[in-house]
A and B are shown apart, each in its own frame.
Chain A
């Protein structure tokens, strides 16, 4: 009776954890749309949404409601199955990455130790890369299934951008992995928390910069939002989409932004580490909760920087984008990797 020996409490615990994390990601993404509009407004000396509720706090709900009640249009000549699959894939891949992120250390309830991570797999970063590169299928399939040449071209722009920036992103991470010697995000976080160790960004500043620029491109955020290009280039890959299917595409962008912020915080900024405090001296449960808070604050700061950049920089032209990716970021990442390798071989071996 192997089935009965199974730890059912573990299943329930993980299910609850999954529900909470997905809800949090959705709520953060929802309020990121609000934050985006507020930040944009402030940077342009405007007030921003302030009509729905106090300070416009209900604006995301109103937007969501509007999208739900809009007419659903599926073009006659489109491939209906793929047309619907596109936004689903975009949303799915956006949510999937959250599974391996360590959101906090461990909670102790009675005898039970609950890890605040859905799955601590030892190939964590590879999993992230796998899922992120699947994200481009949402764009590609959505753009192709619309049977509209402008959508298709926008999707191609997006796909080529994501593929070229993934390379530099991967190489910049290799340097980090040589330093940590582990692919598991939990281990990487714990290494940074260990006494005598600093955050990885201090050891890999160039690597972080490259990773950050590539994360902007991977999320299709300005200045690399060529696949969307709202005000120009005919809207982008979701031109034929309406109602909540469009909402899913837009929403997945914000979830991606949140998740990539969390991943950057985990890889380079100590994850749930609270700076200047030795966590092991205090009550572990309290520290676990504070750690979750610290990770959230770091992620929110990153989200703000994402928005800050969006409302400062103009969009790259396509050839500039490719030049930056292939001729600047990839060589830089390679140099960074070689230097890291040499330093590790020479001094830490």
Chain B
């Protein structure tokens, strides 16, 4: 019969020789192998204390960006929602009122902005689609949760801390080194 793959290895079906029948040489050989493994370097990453470094292009949780004066970048144009293949993004637009210039950069802003993390596939297409540099994917994981509704992230969960009022939290979220 012709073999289907080249991977099969020939196995000796001969009866065991005396050396093999005593078992002990093979047992000792095996035990020396396991013993040597006791002193090998462990590849384990002790997770909560240690984390594996992510590559700079890692696509994690979304962050809604602010400009350097702490104003929200998002104008609720909806391009991210259109680009999203998983249909995870929902938003409602609103018009900026008089006196809200320090909150929103342009006349239109997102009054409601939600990303359903259960639907999101972290493809990063929203980041690519955004003309205002308002949404980008950070290097953090989406944490686990016991309730579905807790995994629909609202604007408050997504917005980056204000660089004016909370510069340290902002730097941390940005992944920048703290400014001294």
> Hey, which bits of chain A sit against chain B, CB under 8 A?
39, 42-47, 50, 308-309, 311-313
Contacts and interface: CB of A to CB of B under 8 A. Distances in A.
Contact of A308 (B34, B40, B42, B43): B34
A150 B30 CA distance: 32
Given A45-B37, A46-B44, 8 more contacts: A42-B38, A45-B40, A45-B43, A308-B35, A309-B31, A312-B31, A312-B33, A313-B27
Contacts of A308: 31, 34-35
Contacts of B41: 45
B44 A47 contact: yes
A92 to B, nearest CB: 33
Nearest to A314: B30
Interface residues of B, number: 14
Interface in B33-55: 33-35, 37-38, 40-44, 46
30 contacts: A39-B38, A42-B37, A42-B38, A43-B34, A43-B35, A43-B37, A43-B38, A44-B37, A45-B37, A45-B41, A45-B42, A45-B43, A46-B42, A46-B44, A47-B42, A47-B44, A47-B46, A50-B46, A308-B31, A308-B34, A308-B35, A309-B27, A309-B31, A311-B34, A312-B27, A312-B30, A312-B31, A312-B34, A313-B27, A313-B30
B11 to A, nearest CB: 17
A98 B44 CA distance: 40
Contacts of A311: 34
Contacts of A313: 27, 30
Contacts of B37: 42-45
Nearest to B43: A45
Across the A-B interface, the 7 shortest Cβ-Cβ residue pairs: A42-B38, A312-B34, A43-B34, A47-B44, A312-B30, A312-B31, A43-B37
Nearest to B32: A312
**Chain A interface SS verdict (over half):** loop
Interface in B1-58: 27, 30-31, 33-35, 37-38, 40-44, 46
A39 to B, nearest CB: 8
Contacts of B44: 46-47
B14 to A, nearest CB: 18
Nearest to A305: B31
Nearest to B35: A308
A308 B44 CA distance: 21
Nearest to B26: A313
Contacts of B43: 45
Contacts of A39: 38
B81 to A, nearest CB: 42
A42 B40 CA distance: 8
A193 B44 CA distance: 46
Q: Which of B35, B38, B40, B41 has the largest number of chain A CB atoms within 10 A?
A: B38
A11 to B, nearest CB: 47
Contacts of B35: 43, 308
Q: Which of B30, B34, B40 has the largest number of chain A CB atoms within 10 A?
A: B34
A309 B35 CA distance: 10
Nearest to A41: B42
A321 to B, nearest CB: 12
A43 B40 CA distance: 9
Contacts of B42: 45-47
B34 to A, nearest CB: 4
A312 B40 CA distance: 16
Contacts of B33: 312
A342 to B, nearest CB: 24
B12 to A, nearest CB: 18
Q: Which of A50, A309, A311, A312 has the largest number of chain B CB atoms within 10 A?
A: A312
